[in-house]
Amino acid sequence: MFSDDMRLIAREMVAPGKGILAADESTGTMEKRLHAVGLDSTEETRRQYRELIVSTPGLGEAISGVILFDETVRQESSGGVPLRKVAEENGILPGIKVDKGAKPLAGSDGEKITEGLDGLRDRLTEYAGMGMKFTKWRAVLDIGNGHPSDYAIHVNAHALARYAALSQEAGLVPMVEPEVLMDGDHSLEDAETATTRTLREVFEQLAKQGVELESMVLKPNMVVAGKECPRQPETEQVAEATVRTLRRTVPSAVPGIAFLSGGQGDEEATVNLNAINQLGPLPWQVTFSFGRGLLAPTLQEWVGRAENVDSAQRVLAHRARLNGAARQGRYDAELEHV
């Protein structure tokens, strides 16, 4: 694929009014999510859940792309259509998580490095052949006890850039996801410092490794205080810290920024996204790439029952529309009940 095509896909992914749905939980994470609502995690329950998601009527109106997991792109709907095709027929670009998860970083004091570079070129070639349009790689950094260290930031940024360069070589738009976690009791200021250091290094490595900024999407965390921080900031403060951090670190050549929700409540993530967009105009499209922020209420509604599929799909479409409004700064709490 030529870079013109990738540029176009990157812009479609962050098109006005739309955002991305992250349904790429690994088998281990999916097991946790399904157990939490009292369900066994089998290949079949996971298939049913993912079919419910990608076949949601009207989802393409607010969702531009869906990030899938390797198992899902090999599964079919109950009607025998590959799930990645069901997404496309619903107006949604299919994407794929290509990292192999965060593992203990050797020589560090409890920090993580994301694995999955070995053999990645071959896996990307296969995914491109299946018609996937974009990819995702998530790096994880935590705050507290001297973390994140320069070492952990550097090696994770280096791996993100290696992944992004390989993805573009295969014609697949990379979603570069350096997640600074909201676990812990750190302040908003600590989150801003850690996120700024991380994004500076990520863009340094992307430049050094020849990644074309116009053909990628950044998937960062919002700048929020730690979940256990006793001084929780106002929405306005979160929005200002987030926008300040992004303006200082993300070149305007990047077409779009799509936030992860990272354990924020679903309404909280929507409200924050709205406040961030209300500080515009911004140099990039600023939207969502939520996993839990879109899917937690959907799974709660479904709980594995065939008779709940329609209502669970309505919950998902509704949450997607609300976030579609928030990514234009047009969300209102009243809309929650429409």
Catalytically annotated residues? 177, 219
Task: Name the minimum Å distance from CB 22 to ligand 13P.
Answer: 3
Contacts of 179 (CB under 8 A, 6+ apart): 138, 139, 140, 141, 220, 221, 260, 262
CB nearer ligand 13P, residue 220 or residue 255: 220
Instruction: Please give the backbone phi and psi of residue 220, each rounded to the nearest 5 degrees, phi first.
Output: -100, 175
Site for ligand 13P in 264-303 (CB under 6 A): 290-293
What's the half-sphere exposure (Cβ side, CA atoms, 13 Å) at 4? 0
CA distances from 31 to 25, 139, 154, 181 (A): 9, 21, 31, 21
CB nearer ligand 13P, residue 32 or residue 208: 32
CB nearer ligand 13P, residue 293 or residue 297: 293
Query: Looking at the chain, how many residues does it have?
Result: 338
Task: Name the minimum Å distance from CB 87 to ligand 13P.
Answer: 16
Please give the Cα distance from 313 to 219 (Å, whole number): 25
Segment interacting with ligand 13P (CB under 6 A) among 43-51, 57-65, 164-172, 260-268? 260-268
Task: Name the minimum Å distance from CB 202 to ligand 13P.
Answer: 15
Task: Name the minimum Å distance from CB 285 to ligand 13P.
Answer: 18
Q: Give the x/- contact pattern for ligand 13P in 5-44, rule: CB under 6 A.
A: -----------------x----------------------
Binding ligand 13P (rule: CB under 6 A), the pick from 46, 133, 138, 147 is: 138
| CB closest to ligand 13P, residue no | 291
Check residue 326 for interaction with ligand 13P (CB under 6 A). Answer: no
Contacts of 195 (CB under 8 A, 6+ apart): 180, 220, 221, 223, 245
Please give the Cα distance from 213 to 245 (Å, whole number): 18
Task: Name the minimum Å distance from CB 139 to ligand 13P.
Answer: 10
Closest Cα to residue 111, out of 81, 51, 156, 71? 156
Contacts of 182 (CB under 8 A, 6+ apart): 191, 221, 224, 225, 226, 227, 262, 263, 264
Binding ligand 13P (rule: CB under 6 A), the pick from 262, 274, 325, 328 is: 262
Site for ligand 13P in 163-222 (CB under 6 A): 177
CB nearer ligand 13P, residue 120 or residue 258: 258
* Contact set with ligand 13P (CB under 6 A): 22, 138, 177, 260-262, 290-293
